[in-house]
Amino acid sequence: MRTEKRKPIRVDFNNMTSDFIGKEGITTRDLNKIKPLTGQAFAAYKDGRGKGMMGWTELPYNQADVVADIKKTAAEISEKYENFVVLGIGGSALGPFAVFNALCHLRHNDLPKRKRKGPKFFVEDNVDPERMAALLDVIDVSKTVFNVITKSGSTSETMSQYLIISDLLKKKIGDGWSGHIIATTDEKNGNLIKLAEENGFKTFFVPSSVGGRFSELCPVGLLPAAVLGIDIDEMLAGAEYIDGVCADSDDIYKNAALMNAAMQYIAIKKGKNISVMMPYADSLKYMADWYCQLWGESLGKEKSLDGGNVYAGQTPVKALGVTDQHSQVQLYIEGPFDKVITLIAVEKYRKTVKIADGCERYPNVSFLCGHTLNELITNERIATEYALQKASRLNHTIILPSVNAYTIGQLIMFFQIETAYLGAMLNIDAFNQPGVEAGKNATYALFGRKGFEEKRAEIEASPKKKRKLII
């Protein structure tokens, strides 16, 4: 039986079609033409699931022991500590921060302790010195647990944060400092696992078959979520539901993730090189950030699986409804025809706020009286959808019955499966990130790390900057 909480997300594709937006839209003929490709993508997903770097497909099913350990550890942390700080970057940070914002009070850290379901929460995904200094101004490290998350155990940003924090902990706490660190990393490879073994940190593992941006539903995301009092069983149940409906049929009219991938594929071929993600909910603002990494890093590839140059990808852009109606939407409606816009609708917000009476003398304002902010945000979304449709702009709407652990689990799995389908259709490896590695290696070289001498020489041999162009 479907409870109020356990409702499915749905996708409204009407405004992607020529029936609604005219010649810019996708036709049934377009979809029929790529049927062999959607069939192949579906088969590739089915064959690949659980293998290679597709271990994330099985996370709803194979983590019972891990989940039990996570819940036990989370309860201990909540009991003992005032702050929980994630040290990580990219796939090791975006998911935890997105889920925190989606499922906790929007002013979580400002609430008094008795009103929070967990410690104060911080995700430090940059090495801006001012940011680290600012964090240390507001937390007492002796009342804080640091979750160092790095699958590779060698990412400069995360390891430099680890060094700063472990040094501080040693100085401030002495013996027992290691109890303030939880390491989430690869079970066998990298520096962090060695440090964890040396120092006796509590550890959780990122399965070797799960890449950073596909890792929210493993301990990378589940531990921070559980510490915050989020129902991680519900998140996994939501993901399992989507796996059931989006990995079960190669009929695009029964499989919304495959339909979405097919429509994005056609859109890309028609020159729509930008994917805008625009949730109409502050709680989902950072889900758009998480999506941008998933979409950008997975699909932005130079090489096809056959080794040819393809320079694939679609640039992800985040926007927030209604805020960006007064910033970006002008461009979306009147600018170049180069975008697919994904709106995220929430049917039932967790709060209702009434707009008070007043201003009766001013009809331009008084029409709002007696209504709610819920009605206003909903009508503004419908109005934007209509304006996009009238302007012949490809757009579709993902409908969340409400924002809860079950629908967030669904949303995460939905985008992951869609990304895998589209990667297969584009004939690229959606699970590697050679571009990111190139940047990481250049940083190591600039620091003179052993083994990166050749890279350093290469950087030093690059053309000197022209002074006249630095104005």
In this complex, which beta carbon is closest to ligand PA5, that of residue 125 or of residue 234? 125
Least Cα distance to 406 among 225, 258, 224 occurs for 225
- Is 326 an annotated catalytic residue? yes
| Binding string, residues 70-99; x marks residues near ligand PA5 by CB under 6 A | -------------------xxxx-------
β partners of residue 278: 343
Pairing assessment for the beta strands 274-279 and 339-346 based on DSSP bridges: parallel
State in angstroms the smallest separation of the CB of 101 from ligand PA5: 19
Least Cα distance to 118 among 132, 131, 103, 137 occurs for 103
Contact call for residue 300 and ligand PA5 (CB under 6 A)? no
Looking at 5, 117, 303, 440, which residue is catalytic?
440
Host H or E run for residue 422: helix 405-425
Gap between the Cα atoms of 364 and 337, Å rounded: 33
- Is 468 an annotated catalytic residue? no
Residue selected from 17, 101, 144, 150 as contacting ligand PA5 according to rule CB under 6 A: 150
Residues touching ligand PA5: how many (CB under 6 A)?
15
Q: Which stretch binds ligand PA5 (CB under 6 A): 10-18, 43-51, 135-143, 148-156?
A: 148-156
Gap between the Cα atoms of 173 and 170, Å rounded: 5
Residue selected from 15, 63, 152, 342 as contacting ligand PA5 according to rule CB under 6 A: 152
In this complex, which beta carbon is closest to ligand PA5, that of residue 145 or of residue 183? 183
Gap between the Cα atoms of 241 and 247, Å rounded: 10
For the segment 428-457, give every residue that binds ligand PA5 (CB under 6 A). Answer: 433, 436
Q: Which residue is nearest to ligand PA5 (CB)?
A: 212
Q: Which stretch binds ligand PA5 (CB under 6 A): 73-81, 208-216, 352-360, 459-467?
A: 208-216
Least Cα distance to 435 among 272, 291, 302, 259 occurs for 302
- Assign 93 to helix, strand or coil: coil
CA atoms 349, 383, 260, 314: torsion sign: negative
Gap between the Cα atoms of 261 and 107, Å rounded: 35
In this complex, which beta carbon is closest to ligand PA5, that of residue 25 or of residue 316? 316
Least Cα distance to 395 among 6, 11, 139, 7 occurs for 11
Residue selected from 73, 155, 314, 397 as contacting ligand PA5 according to rule CB under 6 A: 155
Contact call for residue 221 and ligand PA5 (CB under 6 A)? no
State in angstroms the smallest separation of the CB of 373 from ligand PA5: 36
Contact residues: ligand PA5, CB under 6 A: 89-92, 150-152, 155, 158, 211-213, 297, 433, 436
Question: Which residues does the annotation mark as catalytic?
Answer: 297, 326, 440
